Structure 1
Amino acid sequence: MTTSPAVSAAPAAVIADAAAYAEAVATASRAAAAYYATGESALDDDAYDRLARGIAAWEAAHPEEVAADSPTGKVAGGAAVGDVPHTVPMLSLDNVFSAEQLTAWTASLERRIGRTVAAWSVEPKLDGLAVAARYEDGRLTRLITRGDGTAGEDVSHAVGTVIGLPDALAEPVTLEIRGEVLMTQEQFEQANAARTAHGAAPFANPRNGAAGTLRARDRAYRVEMTFFGYGALALPGTAPGLAARLAELPHSAVMAEVVRLGVHTAATTEVAPRVVAAAEDVPARIEEIAAARPGLPFGIDGIVVKADPAADRAEAGSGSRAPRWAVAYKLPAVEKVTTLLGVEWNVGRTGVIAPRAVLEPVEIDGSTVTYATLHNPADITRRDLRIGDRVMVHKSGDIIPRVEAPVAHLRTGAERAVEFPSVCPQCGSGIDTSEQRWRCERGRDCRVVASVSYAAGRDQLDIEGLGTTRVVQLVDAGLVSDLADLFLLTREQLLTLDRMGGTSTDNLLAAIEGAKGRPLSRVFCALGVRGTGRSMSRRIARHFADMEHIRAADAEALQGVEGIGAEKARTVVAELAGLAPLIDRLVAAGVNMTEPGATPPAPPAADGTGGTDGGGPGEEAREPAAAGPLAGAAVVVTGAMTGALEKLSRNQMNELVERAGGRSSSSVSKRTTLLVAGEGAGSKREKAAQLGIRIVTPDEFAATVADFLPPAS
């Protein structure tokens, strides 16, 4: 293989002697038993994987001393039980943790069958519980867990709560569909809300929630889960023609049959199974799935690689624990258990009072995590968090770590309640608790320095010479109480401040005057409207063209902007209403309120059906594609820019892309159209090359968008 997926495995646990080995086996067995019985375990996935690999390494060195109850080589670690026999063993998968191990595995499989595998299926390894759904004459008759691989537990009582597993197939066929039952993030939140409302402890994470819920009976509340099919096989009574087809079809074709029968699979997701022609092509798809992981609404903990042709699978066969024709490429753990040491209450520049979890440091996905988001006070109450709790913490890629829930069964009784503030932690004023996100009653006035400094920043109004220290001076002197006051400052006022001579005063006044001419997108961003940032401010400005149209828009009109849903639209409307006096003062001060090159939306037609563009409902009708040399293109910029682009910040580059009609993005994917690769471009350039995406130099890009470049300073 020519590429290396960016995945690294945590080291295996080190087992020094026979006593440590015995303790490790006992610990792993207890953890597996707890997980498969109730969905609860004292170990997170990463800790269990490292322990299991340590046990396997010790046993490889001491084969004569392997314990009978060792989890090595057993389905479900030997802990699961069941009394419903499987017609065909329901095995686990072997794991690999690096590109080198994957290369060795594919080579070993091809040596075993004596030929090159003709095609490989690459699909997500869903983080849930494996089950077998039996259909007789098209009707769902039984749902069985994997158990120990030879027999599983009958959990048919849960059928009505599993979305994606129909009661009846599209055809009256008899067969077994195997797949994974899991909770999406939304279902997990709903489940914990229902559990805490009924006095039960919240689930620690979605996987444990699915495992516990699947086995639960006679609950006073309903918890939904989702099924993803990943295989199908014949059962006694299966029609001969169908049985033959299932045995002879490639795995990918079998899954197409499953979809045709009406069963839910990963086929419609961003990480849909895909067939590649050669082993050398597998890593590129692994990279794509791994890159999409942070944004998925459900959990994956790896990527499954399978030989697709039926003949290759049949010849490879299976061992006692796992098939030899499939392997799981494990991704770094994104969830770990650690201790909640405390909760800090921080006040943002808009006055929002946000709780932040202080954690016992833990390494997740290659970085040390000491803080995590808690969203709002209601979130703390809903999750029943207490200081001293062992908590499940989730982090993936650049996503801010979040606390999922306490691991309630590990509580000792020494935990204590989280104390909520009674007054604003920043200024001591009252707190508006009417919404889930608490806010200081003074709003932005509580953090004048922060809000003005943010507005003056390089990516907003870019007022050179107006750093935080200078803003503090202006606020302390009573010269500035909000953003608009900046544009009313006089030379005489500034000269009264310490370290403000004639030259520095003139320079600052010139910078403030220059800020009046910034495009609307910058001005809107400087306002710090909740729910928006640089990218969203650019979209809003391009969509409405001027501040007058933005302020006149209601929540429905705002939803015409890409990325704005109903809730965010209502927030923006409310924020703009509160900012109305400030915006009026900015207009009076001569601050620009238009977006260059943008055209205001057409007014609604007389019959209320929309503007004059003739579009129907949907985003295309609401927001016509921008004109320009990049119209319709999705552009990623990476590396250091040179030539005409050398002095542009990344935000300015994104603005340039969008002025030229394109859409800026920070990550390379199959939807990327163009990569601008400057000096030092690394993995993004490699990934773009693998995906066949057009790559240009800064000079080539500058020539393409020459008419849209900002004037040279």
Structure 2
Amino acid sequence: MDLQTAEKEVKELHQRLNQYNYEYHVLDKPSVPDSEYDRLMQQLIQIEERFPQLKTSDSPTQRVGGQVLDLFEKVQHEIPMLSLGNAFNEQDLVDFDRRVTQAVGMDHSYVCELKIDGLAVSLRYENGLFIRGATRGDGTTGEDITANLRTIRSIPLRLREPVSIEVRGEVFMPKRSFEALNRLKKEREEEPFANPRNAAAGSLRQLDTKIAASRNLDVFLYSIANTEAAGVDSHSGALELLDRLGFKTNKERKMCKTIEEVIEFVAGWAEKRPHLPYEIDGLVIKVDSLEQQRILGFTAKSPRWAIAYKFPAEEVVTILKDIELSVGRTGVVTPTAILEPVRVAGTTVQRASLHNEDLIREKDIKIGDQVVVKKAGDIIPEVVNVLADSRTGKEIDFQMPTHCPECESELVRLEGEVALRCINPKCPAQIREGLIHFVSRDAMNIDGLGEKVIGQLFSAQLIEDVADIYKLTREQLLALERMGEKSVSNLLQAIEASKSNSLERLLFGLGIRHVGAKAAKTLAMEFNTLDNLAEATSEQLTAINEIGDKMADSIVSYFELEEVKDLLEELKAIGVNTEYKGPKPVSLEESTSFFAGKTIVLTGKLEQLSRNEAKEEIEKLGGKVSGSVSKKTDLVIAGEDAGSKLSKAEELGVEVWNEEKLIDELKKS
């Protein structure tokens, strides 16, 4: 075969394979058996191997993966990927309709669509060719996951028309694929994924594209980023254009003229939801007319022309097989319900927190009971109540132990607390949990040193305290399960990089009782070095506005311990930074900023700044960021999904800004 013949053959194979792929993965109407598709694919692979110059980015062979990425590059969304406001009941939908009617009049329609429980993505095409795909991220900045998105067969690599367009959609893992993946993980003795959403997100963030290709992901596209450029005048028109270009859209959608029709549609899907081959967590209702969407505009956090109806938490009945105890970092012993596995809101639930002994007594929970389980906010499994009428007499009362299940030290109940606590400082469980806390994101942030790796290192007696983390060798890490050369190199780099963290991260990581991340930052800013803090008296500590007697006593007691003094000297000798590196607070005399001397509360999700970035900027300018709204609050910055804090601010008459106004004022300062 010469090059000219090969070019002609490749072009024909592209057309046939793309058409068969579209019929199978988008229309769900295959016209040829799998064997014929596989035969043609092998034929194309052989030609591309012989003539590598004919392999293009839109070739069907590019869907099998094989590329190994170093990292995911950041992507700035030219048009932000906004979140939607939420509705939780019929009244919320009626209120939404009232607001729409007040703005645009009675003559409007809604498009109702299923809310797919997956990962939002943005796909960009130039002249019909797929050139980039990215995650939503924080709405303005996402991650480039183009290579992994190419492996999803329902995403076209070349459109049916040579248009330049950016589209948004939801990548998801079908239930069947999720169940198959978790069966495989269990066979390999790996931790199964909690739900299809997590599985989809984890698959798209694989650096090895072959792994992503093996996960059988799917996608529904639901919007065009720039509808004006696309030449459509309605949301329904945008969906029709997506269909025409070869995208996969969800056909379970309906145009509704009234809110009553919307409510009827919602009620129908609340019942039909379990029978879908993929997970949904609600419905999305959008005003159809783009002109009316422009009139309605946006709030600081979401469009006024759309709302997401969230299904109520699903409740199911299962058997409580046992109650297991775990010992936390502070010695608190927490009971956990071990359940007969049951599907709740898209997840197989086998465990649920019981919080403490008092809750078990209050709900009269016995081992062997039939219990009602729900996921609070569709996230956290919770035992709601017991079906006492179903008892057979074989149920067993649960008794909290008198001694620690890990070290057998006597448990105590401190005054004013409901929890039982192990106060043995050498308790293995507390040491292990303390190590996990030390490397966590808000503490020393050592990426790659997660709970499983810490568990392996601790079991092998390679680490006994946090200083040992900095003594780990390449050979020790390579001996661990599923730790290759690249993983070990990355982990050693992360450990070394953590040495230069600012003091507040180290303070929080040490796990001093009552000292959270915010207090650690306050202490680091006030005392500047670890040595200064270690020598501070209770009087000096309580003189700081946010430090109370209990926290002050805990800090003083901590630094008086000989083993703590030895540990801190060891950390310093290893090269761990013990000085504050962040911005210094500006005095009122020095500052001319609006924020100087004001108490400010941040609530909700910000789009352009992270909460920590906003906090740091405000503190640089002499402002104080508080966690709660009171009469002393001067200003509340409300982002997306602002809840009770915003309500309280409005109730007290506290001034409220959106993020845009905050950024404008920061620029002035």
Per the TM superposition, whether the score is higher than 0.5 is no
In the superposition, the TM-score normalised over structure 2's length comes to 0.40
In the superposition, the TM-score normalised over structure 1's length comes to 0.38
